[in-house]
Amino acid sequence: MSDQLLSHPYLHTADDLSYEDIQLVFSKAQYFLENYKPGVKFDDLKGMTIALAFFENSTRTRLSFELAAKRLSGEVFSFAAAQSSLAKGESLIDTFRTIEAMTVHMYVIRHGSSGVPRFLQNNSNSIIINAGDGKHEHPTQSLLDAFTLQKYFGKVKDLKVCIVGDILHSRVARSNVTMLNTLGAEVGVLAPGTLLPFGWQTWKVKPMATIEEAIEWSDVILMLRLQRERMESGLLPSNREFSNYYGVDLKRFNSKPNLVLLHPGPVNFGVELDYEISALPNVLIETQVTHGVFIRMALLSLLSKFVKI
């Protein structure tokens, strides 16, 4: 395979990746997808230590990074914030320096505060990958979403993708707006006015007024989770009202032939999506999870080229 390098020895935002970088990640992910066999390991991360530092809960991102690093022969250790000395008052930066002292080559970091990966990168020569920071960005999610579309449609360029739901609290939305625009897709947005962030009008997106309009316009609906845990009171009258105006049920999904639906998970079934559509062939939620492992293998492998042992 090519020895081409990514533009940066880190991944903090979707904007860190050029069009060519994304194609490089996709081609490496495709290679791993075609060549991975259970029980056989690649040696891309041999001799390297990868720290998974999750200060916020995760199922998909943490497990897929762990699996990806292990399949590439990396040594992996997990930092569990709740059981750490953070609980005794140790600061974030001192915690990070303590982990650094154990010789780590790459960090995968999730944190509830926006900007933490960049802040830590400014205090480190190691490679830092953002696994989701507050409401800011989740660049590996947007990579795996776009890879899923590339595999399904054979292209991302000129696809019409509408992002629907709680855009205010969504790092997935921010990363996807950037990534989909880089790849030449058209991006729509649909959300209640209270769930759109300040300044969204500067994004390169087409606003939609109703879920019916969004479905009619789109090739793909990228539905988001209603993030009640980040929400101030008063932003929504009720889950039921949100579901009535913005949710996708079987009737709405079937109103557009060949419509494809993505969701980054976890899904609030009965709120943004009805459970009965989750197993339909054009609903690619499980495929996204599967692709997440190969995309993260690709990213770790490409970033490992910057590591000096």
Least distance (Å) from ligand CP to the CB of residue 97? 26
Interaction of residue 264 with ligand CP, rule CB under 6 A:
yes
Binding part of the chain for ligand CP, among 14-22, 58-66, 146-154, 275-283 by CB under 6 A, reads 58-66
Which residue number, 262 or 302, has a Cβ lying nearer to ligand CP? 262
| CA dihedral for 239, 240, 243, 244, sign (positive or negative) | negative
Binding part of the chain for ligand CP, among 55-63, 117-125, 158-166, 226-234 by CB under 6 A, reads 55-63
Interaction of residue 60 with ligand CP, rule CB under 6 A:
yes
Among 27, 59, 123, 194, indicate the residue that binds ligand CP (CB under 6 A): 59
Binding part of the chain for ligand CP, among 76-84, 205-213, 261-269, 301-309 by CB under 6 A, reads 261-269
Least distance (Å) from ligand CP to the CB of residue 297? 16
Which residue number, 13 or 61, has a Cβ lying nearer to ligand CP? 61
3, amino acid identity: D
**How many residues of this chain bind ligand CP (CB under 6 A)?**
9
Q: Is-contact 145 264, C-beta < 8 A?
A: yes
40 vs 308: CA distance, rounded Å: 25
Q: Who contacts 13 (Cβ-Cβ below 8 Å, separation ≥6)? A: 130, 136, 137, 139, 175, 178
Q: Where are the alpha helices (DSSP H) in the chain?
A: 19-35, 60-71, 92-100, 116-121, 139-153, 171-182, 211-217, 239-246, 250-254, 285-304
Which residue number, 63 or 86, has a Cβ lying nearer to ligand CP? 63
Which residue number, 57 or 255, has a Cβ lying nearer to ligand CP? 57
Helix 285-304 crosses helix 60-71 at what angle (to 10 degrees)? 50
Which residue number, 53 or 186, has a Cβ lying nearer to ligand CP? 53
Residue 140, φ and ψ in degrees, nearest 5: -70, -25
Interaction of residue 265 with ligand CP, rule CB under 6 A:
yes
Which residue number, 60 or 256, has a Cβ lying nearer to ligand CP? 60
Least distance (Å) from ligand CP to the CB of residue 171? 8
Binding part of the chain for ligand CP, among 11-19, 54-62, 113-121, 213-221 by CB under 6 A, reads 54-62
Interaction of residue 141 with ligand CP, rule CB under 6 A:
yes
Least distance (Å) from ligand CP to the CB of residue 258? 25
128, amino acid identity: I
Q: Is 234 left (phi over 0), alpha (psi -120 to 50) or beta?
A: left
Number of CB atoms found within 10 A of residue 266's CB: 12
Peptide bond into 266 cis (omega under 30): yes
Which residue number, 54 or 96, has a Cβ lying nearer to ligand CP? 54
Q: Which of residues 186-225 bind ligand CP (CB under 6 A)?
A: none
- Token readout for 49 is 């230590």
Least distance (Å) from ligand CP to the CB of residue 193? 25
**What does each C-alpha distance from 287 to 15, 17, 194, 250, 281 come to in angstroms?**
24, 23, 31, 20, 10
Interaction of residue 132 with ligand CP, rule CB under 6 A:
yes
Among 16, 36, 41, 58, indicate the residue that binds ligand CP (CB under 6 A): 58
| Interaction site with ligand CP (CB under 6 A) | 58-61, 132, 141, 264-266
